[in-house]
Chains A and B, each alone.
Chain A
Amino acid sequence: MLEFLTQSPHFYDYVTLGVLFLGVFNVGEILFLLYNKAKVERSELKRGNLKRLAATALITATDPAELLPPPVAEDEFAAYSEAIASVLDSFEGEVAVKAAKLLTDLGIDGHYRRLARHRTWYKRGNAIDILSSFRLRANREFFLAVFRSEPSTDVKYRILYGLSRLTRDHAEIRELAELLSTLPYLTAKYTEDIFFNIISALKANGREEEFGLFLKEALDDKKVLNLVKRDCLTACHAASCEKGRSVLKKYYEAHEEEPEIQIAAVRALAKMGDFVLIPPALRHADWRVRLTALKYADLCCTDLLPEIRCLLRDNSYHVRLAAAMTMARAGGAARAALTEEAASQDKFAAAAAAYALTQGAA
């Protein structure tokens, strides 16, 4: 073929044609990109204007639906839902009530409920995310119904996320935990977020003690994965759930073989100012538990000094260093002991002590 072209008397005509074709193709491509850029910009502008209009109507009008043009196109629904979700996220009181009413008055909620049954999974997932952002209690039954018929696991995770923001009592937490156990464990962050949302939703409704009840029930429940229990305690720590305090010690005692659960229990309790688990955790066989306890040991009491000092000779480098840092932070007698240890015959203990003293000075 190449030979035929190069030996042809029309070779230069072919080359010219080729170059011309490429030139036309490039120009066409640039025009196509420019057209799409302008289209996106127009759409962004329209969305911005509609969002501003929706926010202004929510502030100024008694019935904002009367002022706003009903959404027809997908980007109009998106603009309204973004504005309303932002209001619901940021405000409560009169403006939030009006925003929630607007969702039904303009048919936005209904539109996304229809999309949640779309044949394409990512459209269903997107619709579920938007419905979740509205936090409408009325959507709870809908989410449960969709979960039962949904074939995609990805969408199911999103449905559970939406449900977690609507939780009101421990029966609903149990239901959610059961649904969660029907899916493969995703990530620690996801599960922690689910329980963090649950605690936040309960706190917002003044029903934080419901989470304490759930924790009690889940303690001996074999159906709840240990990983889920651990994430539950981590969420307790992150959301400062005070009502779970009494049961956290039981989690520590009941999960001798699960250091990660014990670490989560130690951290959650210490954050609430309860250091009851620190002494046993300092003597724990697993170095990660000892390390966690050391992070809080300087805050609890001075009579732990001999035990912390012993940990300067621990097998784990991390524990030795953390013990030295804890003694440096504690100050007073602990710091004096640390200065003695810096001159110790034990090279490992001396190095950790010297490091902590220089860090303290810095």
Chain B
Amino acid sequence: MAKILIIDDDETIHLIGRAYLGKAGYEVQTAFDGPEGLEKAAAFNPDLVLLDINMPKMSGFDVAKKLRENAGTKHIPIFIMTSLKQDSNIQRGYGLGIDDYITKPTNMAHLKLKIDKFLEKHKRP
């Protein structure tokens, strides 16, 4: 069972993410902010991180940077999921080595398909 970590300060995203992705057969864990997300990423070793940008304590960009700097988490694919649509943010995200930049509002059915395809292509050995 593939594992997904959702890092977002909005509990509604956690609930909806858990329900949809859980029903699709993924094991989902959630974190409310950057430090908690980094801790969980190291312990849970997810196959994919869904990451928000605007969060308390640490921005999503900083979380992505830290994930990439840490030897134990640098291999984890990151999808940024945010309502920030400006090109500068998209460029900054890809500059940090994220794998996809998804803007809200997101269609959960489409997101699930995207995750399915991505994880199928990047299956861990």
Once the chains bind, are A93 and B12 in contact (CB under 8 Å)?
no
Residues of B within 8 A of A (CB): 10-13, 15-16, 19-20, 83, 85-87, 104-110
Once the chains bind, are A90 and B10 in contact (CB under 8 Å)?
yes
Interface of A, secondary structure class, is helix
Answer whether A93 and B85 are a contact pair too, CB < 8 Å, given A55-B11, A58-B16: no
Residues from chain A with Cβ under 8 Å of B12 in the complex:
51, 55, 83, 86-87, 90
Residues from chain B with Cβ under 8 Å of A96 in the complex:
105
Partner among B11, B20, B107 whose Cβ is within 8 Å of the Cβ of A51:
B11
* 0/1 string, A33-73, CB within 8 A of B gives 1: 00000000000000010011001101110000000000000
Bound: A59/B12 CA distance, A: 10
Whole-angstrom distance between the Cβ of A133 and the nearest chain B Cβ: 12
Residues from chain B with Cβ under 8 Å of A59 in the complex:
15-16, 19-20
Once the chains bind, are A60 and B105 in contact (CB under 8 Å)?
no
Whole-angstrom distance between the Cβ of A161 and the nearest chain B Cβ: 16
Within 8 A of B (CB), among A87-112: 87-96
Once the chains bind, are A93 and B108 in contact (CB under 8 Å)?
yes
Closest to A199 in B: B85
Whole-angstrom distance between the Cβ of B79 and the nearest chain A Cβ: 14
Bound: A96/B11 CA distance, A: 16
Please provide the 5 A-B residue pairs with the shortest distance between their CB atoms, ordered closest to farther: A59-B19, A93-B107, A92-B105, A55-B15, A86-B12
Whole-angstrom distance between the Cβ of B94 and the nearest chain A Cβ: 15
Residues from chain A with Cβ under 8 Å of B106 in the complex:
90-92
Once the chains bind, are B85 and A87 in contact (CB under 8 Å)?
no
Residues from chain A with Cβ under 8 Å of B105 in the complex:
88-92, 96
Residues of A within 8 A of B (CB): 48, 51-52, 55-56, 58-60, 83, 86-96, 200, 238-240, 271
Residues from chain B with Cβ under 8 Å of A94 in the complex:
109
Residues from chain B with Cβ under 8 Å of A56 in the complex:
15, 19
Bound: A240/B89 CA distance, A: 12
Partner among B10, B19, B86, B108 whose Cβ is within 8 Å of the Cβ of A86:
B10
Closest to B87 in A: A240
Whole-angstrom distance between the Cβ of B13 and the nearest chain A Cβ: 6
Whole-angstrom distance between the Cβ of B82 and the nearest chain A Cβ: 10
Closest to B109 in A: A93
Bound: A88/B107 CA distance, A: 11
Bound: A51/B14 CA distance, A: 12
Residues from chain A with Cβ under 8 Å of B107 in the complex:
91-93
Residues from chain A with Cβ under 8 Å of B87 in the complex:
240, 271
Answer whether A86 and B13 are a contact pair too, CB < 8 Å, given A96-B105, A240-B87: yes
Whole-angstrom distance between the Cβ of A326 and the nearest chain B Cβ: 19
Once the chains bind, are B19 and A60 in contact (CB under 8 Å)?
yes
Answer whether A89 and B104 are a contact pair too, CB < 8 Å, given A51-B11, A55-B12, A59-B15: yes
Once the chains bind, are B108 and A95 in contact (CB under 8 Å)?
yes
Bound: A326/B6 CA distance, A: 41
Q: Which one of A56, A60, A92, A96 has the highest number of Cβ atoms from chain B below 10 Å of its Cβ?
A: A92
Bound: A240/B86 CA distance, A: 7
Extra A-B contacts (15), CB below 8 Å, given A55-B16, A59-B16:
A51-B11, A56-B19, A60-B19, A86-B10, A87-B16, A89-B83, A89-B105, A90-B16, A90-B104, A90-B105, A91-B106, A91-B107, A92-B107, A93-B109, A200-B85
Closest to A85 in B: B12
Answer whether A91 and B11 are a contact pair too, CB < 8 Å, given A239-B85, A271-B87: no
Bound: A93/B106 CA distance, A: 8
Whole-angstrom distance between the Cβ of A67 and the nearest chain B Cβ: 14
Bound: A307/B104 CA distance, A: 44
Closest to A59 in B: B19
Bound: A174/B13 CA distance, A: 36
Closest to A90 in B: B104
